A and B are shown apart, each in its own frame.
Chain A
Amino acid sequence: MGVFEMVGTVVRSVFRKPATLMYPVKTAKITPLSRGHVVIDVSRCISCRICQKKCPSQAIWVEPKEKTWQINRLRCNVCNSCVETCPVKCLTMDTHYIPSVTVRPGAELFHITYVKPPKPEITAESKD
């Protein structure tokens, strides 16, 4: 009786709530591990450019002289490589996806506010 093979599924589907979600009106399902987008803590970045080197899609551009950190969100493929390799852990992966866009927004620019702490002065007392 091949005709009735799906009757159970059909009946269940009638009474169940929809399997789909009205994204983006409702937020997407996310888990604590979901890779949404990269967030930088500008107060801790030491402009070492490691993230730029380790990014497989060349989405990050760091200018140590101008103290800027740029990311092109449309180039970034959210692979987590920069987050893993940043030596001071100032990059984190947020679990929310960036909203879809209709025009290319270009790179997002951040101004690094990290200031290198002055070297502790070597005084006569600390030497002893």
Chain B
Amino acid sequence: MSRQIIIPFGPQHPVLPEPIHLDLVLEDEIVVDVIPSIGYVHRGLEKLVERREYTEYVYVAERICGICSFVHGLAYCQGVEGMMKIEVPERALYLRTIWSEYSRLHSHLLTLGLFADVLGFENLFMNAWRLREHILDDMEATTGGRVIQGSCKVGGVRRDISSEKLDQMVSGLNELEKEMKELTEVFLRDSSIKSRLCGVGVLPKKEAYEYGAAGPTLRGSGWSIDARKLGYAAFSKLNFEPVVETQGDCYARCAVRAKEMFVSIDLIRQAVQKIPDGPVEVKVTGAPDGEYFTRVEQPRGELVHYLKGNGTKNLVRSRVRTPTFTNIPPLVAMLKGCELADVPVIVHSIDPCIGCAER
């Protein structure tokens, strides 16, 4: 047996956008074990639920994550609405669907860009982010915020989108789709990218399930599990199939994200076609009492919000389980046996969002 050494990776590392610390146990250049630790950006947002009124906590819930902020707000609102038995108007549900698919587009473009950056493909990174800017522009024009939308509220949504704007958004997406095809072609067919990704960080199907992987990490290993199939918001009325890849390597996870963007565009198109007229919010009175679990599909995987109220204006407990958190054990499994040079690529292939994972 050769000598083992430990190399610390993170929390500050050129390829990491967010702080996670991994102790890599190496034998020569091969990683034999990984000890992950988090705790660098804990902000105590779950505790804050006791100090903010349940209607104001939406703003805090949105700020759990800077990328999938809308989906966090949506999950929280859904939880409170479930507890208080509020019927949300149909139009609001469709608008929520549209915005959450926009979030997915923006998150996937972001993460594919960062992925290209990790691979050393700088101009592909910039190209992905250039396309992402169009998505953010539409977000800002409809909600007022580029990344923190603040448009979801308990009982509906804060802003309506006019039908002209919806049509404009769809035609903008049609234009963007062409450019995105070009972008994803590079990810899926470029030989240098393939040589860095294929067969790297393999997560077999059985292990993916047993370690509790979520989202594209799970679907990249052959499981067709997608929380949108639960039919929350307006997803029950739209047709789509989860994107599944079977190889379980970094390439498969990248391919799932690349292909999911087109599913999202299609979902937005369907939603814009089917969106009914009507009010976008209902008046909310009273205070939540009871407990509620909600599950939604974040760009990174399944997100769970647990809320507990006691009939006062302040909830007593909020617990958030984010997909990155459950993707850490699969990450450890992927890293075992890989080469040191592949570690950044594998870490990025789960699309880590540590701010989310620590709240």
- The answer to whether A47 has its CB under 8 Å from any CB of chain B is no
Nearest-Cβ distance from residue B86 to partner chain A, whole angstroms: 19
A8 vs B189: C-alpha distance when bound (angstroms): 16
| A interface residue numbers (CB < 8 A to B) | 2-3, 5-6, 8-10, 13, 19, 29, 31, 33-35, 54-56, 77-81, 84, 93
Determine if B133 and A79 form an interchain contact, defined as CB atoms under 8 angstroms apart: no
What are 20 A-B residue pairs whose CB atoms fall within 8 Å in the complex?
A2-B190, A3-B191, A5-B182, A5-B185, A6-B123, A6-B127, A6-B182, A8-B182, A9-B127, A19-B130, A31-B137, A33-B144, A34-B145, A35-B145, A55-B56, A56-B52, A56-B57, A77-B59, A80-B150, A81-B59
Overall SS of chain A's interface: loop
Determine if A19 and B133 form an interchain contact, defined as CB atoms under 8 angstroms apart: yes
Q: List chain A residues, Cβ under 8 A from B60.
A: 56
Interface size on B, residues (CB 8 A): 32
A78 vs B213: C-alpha distance when bound (angstroms): 35
Q: Tell me the chain B residues, 121-178 only, with Cβ under 8 Å from chain A.
A: 123-124, 127, 130, 133, 137, 140-145, 148, 150, 158-159
Determine if A56 and B124 form an interchain contact, defined as CB atoms under 8 angstroms apart: no
Q: Closest A-chain residue to B187, C-beta based?
A: A5
A78 vs B143: C-alpha distance when bound (angstroms): 13
Nearest-Cβ distance from residue A44 to partner chain B, whole angstroms: 23
Determine if B142 and A77 form an interchain contact, defined as CB atoms under 8 angstroms apart: no
Q: Closest B-chain residue to A93, C-beta based?
A: B144
Q: List chain B residues, Cβ under 8 A from A84.
A: 158
A3, A13, A77, A81: the one within 8 Å of B63 (CB) = A77
B56, B133, B148: the one within 8 Å of A81 (CB) = B56
| B interface residue numbers (CB < 8 A to A) | 52-53, 56-57, 59-60, 63, 123-124, 127, 130, 133, 137, 140-145, 148, 150, 158-159, 179, 182-183, 185-186, 189-192
Q: List chain A residues, Cβ under 8 A from B52.
A: 56
Q: List chain A residues, Cβ under 8 A from B158.
A: 80, 84
Nearest-Cβ distance from residue B48 to partner chain A, whole angstroms: 8
Determine if B56 and A54 form an interchain contact, defined as CB atoms under 8 angstroms apart: yes
Q: Which of A19, A35, A79 has the most CB of B within 10 A?
A: A79
Q: List chain B residues, Cβ under 8 A from A77.
A: 59, 63, 148
Q: List chain A residues, Cβ under 8 A from B63.
A: 77
